[in-house]
Structure 1
Amino acid sequence: MRAWERPEIVSVPGESGAPWLHDTKTDSLVLAQPRDAARLYVCGITPYDATHIGHANTYLAFDTLQRVWIDAGFRVHYAQNVTDVDDPLLERASATGVNWRDLAESQVDLFRTDMQALGIIPPNDFVAVTEVIDEVAAAVALLQQAGLAYPVPTDDAIAGADGTIAADLYFDIQAAEASTDWTLGDESNLDPVSMLRLFAERGGDPDRAGKRDRLDPLLWKAARAGEPVWESPVGAGRPGWHIECSVIALKELGTDFTVQGGGSDLIFPHHDMSAGHAEALSGHPLAGVYSHTGMVAYRGEKMSKSLGNLVLVSRLRAQNFDPRAIRLALLARHYRTDWEWTAALLDEAVARLSAWSAAFGAASLGTVAVNASEGAASTATPGSAAALVDALRLALRHDLDTPQALQLIDDAVASELDDVALVNQAISALLGVAL
C-alpha cells in the first residue's frame, strides 16, 4: 500500500544524539539508541472516522521521534499497519450501507491527505492487513503446531470452499508463558482485575465459552455469513486483531526493534498480546522500548468514535486553519499527557505561528545582518542561534519535550539572534514547521 509524500527535512549544523524516551514497560526513561537503523513500528488506523486529533497527536509524537533520530544521524526504518478488515469497520460499513472495502479505501485516502498536510514523515512500509492475510494465517498455523493455539467450537461458523467448517482459534496465554520469556502484563504492568476489565472494553471476549483462560485472545476468526473470508491452512476466516501487528512488525522490522509506539489505549490488551504473539513466533522480544501517547478529550470526554465527539483534521483544514497551526497546537502538549482539545488552543497556535514567521520566517532572513550594520541603533550583542538550537535539541532528546522546545522559541522571538537562518532550519527540521 502506498503511503504519502515525504516532507523535506533539512540538515541542521551541530551535533545531537539518541533521545531518552519513556518506556511503558519499565515506567522509566531509557535511551532509545538504535543498534543499526532506528526501527519503529506505530500501530495504524482502523479506517473509519479518520483523521481525528487523537490520531494526529499520536502520529505527530512519533514523527518528532523520527526527526530527533534523523537529526542525530540515524537511518530510520518505520513501519505502520492499516487494520482494513476488523469488526468495527465492518459494523460501520453495514450501518451506513457502504461496501467495507470502499469505506476503508476512502478513509485511508483521507488519512494520507491529512498526514501529508501536517508534514508527518510517512512510513517506509505502510501495510494493510488485507495484504498479509496469508502471512498471518501461516503464523497462526505455526502457533497451533507449537501447541500455543487451540480451537473453540463456533456455532455460527460457515463452511469454507472445501466444505470444512472451521473453529475460532485462540492464543493459549499459559502455554506461551511456560515456553517463552514473555509474561502477560509485562508491557502494561496491570493487575489481573484491570486486565480483565480492559480486555472486555477493548474488543476482548472474556465470557466466551470454551476458552482455557478468560484473557486468551482471538487469533483467527472462522468464516461467518456476510463477513469477508479468506481460505487458509487454518480454515476459512480472517485474522484476529493482535496477531496482525505481530506479523507485520516481524516481517518489516525483524525482532527486538527499537520502539513500539501507539496510543495509551493500546497498551493493554493490544501491545501486551502482540508482544506475546511475536515472542512465541520468533523466540525474541518484539521491541526494546514501548512508548505511548496520552489520550485527547473534547468537551469533557475522551475523544472517540463511539461517543461521536471527534475533531477531524480534515474539517479544521476545510475551515482554512493552517496545518502548521494544527501541528503547533498539538506540539504544545507533551505527548504522554492526557489533555483536552479546545478552540482556544488552536487560536494560540495561530498566534504563535504568526509570531514565529515574523521573527524567523523567510521575510526576516537577513534582517540581523542589516541591524548589525546599524551600530548606532543598538548596542546589544546578538544572542547565539547555535545555543538556541542546542537547547532545542536537549529538550527534544529529553522524552520529546515539545512544550519546552516551543517555549524556547517563544522566548527567542523578542531576542536579537546572530543567525536567523539557522533557527529557521531548526524549526523546520526538528519541529516540522516550515516558516
Structure 2
Amino acid sequence: MHAWPASEVPALPGQGRDLRIHDTATGGLVTLDPGPVARIYVCGITPYDATHMGHAATYNAFDLVQRVWLDTKRQVHYVQNVTDVDDPLLERAERDGVDWVALAEKETTLFREDMTALRMLPPRHYIGAVEAIPGIVPLVERLRELGAAYELEGDIYFSVESDPHFGEVSGLDAAAMRLLSAERGGDPDRPGKKNPLDPMLWMAAREGEPSWDGGSLGRGRPGWHIECVAIALDHLGMTFDVQGGGSDLAFPHHEMGASHAQVLTGEFPMAKAYVHAGMVALDGEKMSKSKGNLVFVSRLRQDGVDPAAIRLALLSHHYRADWEWTDQVLRDAQERLTRWRAAVSRPDGPPAESLVEEIREALSNDLDAPAALAAVDRWAALQQDQGGTDTGAPGVVSRAADALLGVAL
C-alpha cells in the first residue's frame, strides 16, 4: 500500500530543540532523545468514513512531532497502518450494499487526498492489515507456543496475565478496563475466556465474512491489536520512540499491543512514550462515526475552504485537549491566515530570528501549537502596526510557518 506525496520542508537557520512530550504511561513529560533516526508509529484509520476532524487533529499532532524532529536534523522513520478489514468496515459495507474492499479503497484514497491537502508528512511505510497477515500469523503461533494464547471455539485469545507489565500504559483499574473493553471492540462478557479482558488474536472464519489461510491457526482474520504489533515490530523493532494515536486508543489498543509485543520479544517497553491526542466534539458530543456527527475535511475543501485554514484551526488547540469544532473556530482560522499572508507579502518587516526560536521553544514544550501561533500573531501585528526594514524577515516567517507548523503562506 502506498502513502501520499510529501511536501517539501524548508530548512531553517539554527538548530531545533529536543521534544518534551506527555507520556500517558508515566503521566508526565518526558524528554525524547532519539538517535539519528527517530522512530514513530501512529495508528491509522479504519477506512469506512474518512477524514473527519477528529482524524485530522490526531494526524496533525504527530505531524508536528515529525517536524520538530526534522528541525533537529534527524531523519524520521514513520510507520502508519490502515485497518482495512475489521467489523466496523464490514458492517458499513453491508449497510450500504457495497463491496467491503471497494469501500476500503475509496475511503483510503480520500484519506490520502486529505492528508496531501493538509500538508501532513507521509509515513515511510503505510501498511494495510490485509497485506500484514503473512507476518501476523507467525506472531500468533509464537504467542501460543509461549503459553500466552489459548483457543476458544476456534478463536485464539491472548492472555493478559502473561505480561507482568499489563496495565502500565493506561494506568486504569480492572473495572474501568472492562467497561472500555465492552465499548471499544472487546468481548469481556464472552463465556469461557480466562480473563474478561483477554483480546482476540485470531478470529476463526465466519460465514459470509472474509477470511485468510492462517496455517496452524485455521482460516480466519487477525484481531485489531496484533495487526499493529506485527507492522511496528517488522518496520521499527522494539523500544521505538513514540506510539501515537487518539486518546481513545490508550485502552484497549495500545495497552494490548504493548503486552503482545513485550511477551513476544521479552523486552520492555514497546515504546519510549505513549502519546495521545484529545477528542474533537461537535454539538456537545465527541465526533464519531457511530453518532454521525462528523465534519469532513473533504467536505470543507469542496466548499472552498483553504486547507491552510483547516490546519490553523487544528493548531489553535493544544493537541492533548478535548475541544469542540464550531463555525467560529474556522472563521478565526481563516482570519488568522489572511493576516499572516498579508504580513509576509510585504517586501520587508521586523526581524524574525527570535520568532523562529519562539516557535521552536513552544513546539518542543509538549507541542504547544497555540503558543507558536500566538508568537506569529505578535510578529504579524508588529508588521501591521510598525513595519520594519529587514528584507529577509517575511521569507523567514513564511518558511518557519511551513517547516514547523505545516502552514503554507
- Decide which of 377, 384, 388 is 1:410's aligned counterpart: 377
Q: Deviation of residue 422 (structure 1)?
A: 1.1
1:143-222 → structure 2 map (5 Å cutoff): 143-153=143-153, 167-177=154-164, 183-222=165-204
Q: Deviation of residue 62 (structure 1)?
A: 0.4
1:244-259 → structure 2 map (5 Å cutoff): 244-259=227-242
1:324-343 → structure 2 map (5 Å cutoff): 324-343=308-327
The question of 1:367 aligning with 2:348 is answered yes
Q: Deviation of residue 35 (structure 1)?
A: 2.4
Counterpart Cα distance in 2 of 1:143 and 1:15? 44
| TM-score, with structure 2 as normaliser | 0.96
Counterpart Cα distance in 1 of 2:93 and 2:264? 33
Match of 1:23 in 2: 23
- Decide which of 331, 343, 357 is 1:390's aligned counterpart: 357
1:293-304 → structure 2 map (5 Å cutoff): 293-304=277-288
Q: Over alpha carbons, which structure has the higher Rg?
A: 1
Amino acid at match of 1:115: M
Amino acid at match of 1:10: P
The question of 1:102 aligning with 2:98 is answered no
Amino acid at match of 1:169: I
Q: Deviation of residue 420 (structure 1)?
A: 1.9
Secondary structure of 2:374 counterpart: helix
Match of 1:432 in 2: 406
Match of 2:244 in 1: 261
Q: Deviation of residue 384 (structure 1)?
A: 3.1
- Decide which of 258, 264, 280 is 1:281's aligned counterpart: 264
Counterpart Cα distance in 1 of 2:401 and 2:162? 50
Match of 1:11 in 2: 11
Secondary structure of 1:132 counterpart: helix
Counterpart Cα distance in 2 of 1:15 and 1:175? 44
Counterpart Cα distance in 1 of 2:221 and 2:121? 31
Give the conservation status (yes or no) of the 8 Å contact 2:17–2:361: no
Per-residue CA distance 1:195-227 (angstroms, 9 max, x = gap): 110011000001111100000000000011001
Counterpart Cα distance in 2 of 1:36 and 1:145? 36
Aligned length: 400
Counterpart Cα distance in 1 of 2:294 and 2:77? 31
Counterpart Cα distance in 2 of 1:36 and 1:203? 37
Per-residue CA distance 1:57-81 (angstroms, 9 max, x = gap): 0000000110010011111000000
Name structure 2 gaps, 5 residues minimum. Answer: none
Q: Deviation of residue 175 (structure 1)?
A: 2.5
Counterpart Cα distance in 1 of 2:300 and 2:317? 19
| TM-score, with structure 1 as normaliser | 0.91
Secondary structure of 1:348 counterpart: helix
Counterpart Cα distance in 1 of 2:285 and 2:367? 26
Give the conservation status (yes or no) of the 8 Å contact 2:162–2:263: no
Name structure 1 gaps, 5 residues minimum. Answer: 154-166, 178-182, 369-382
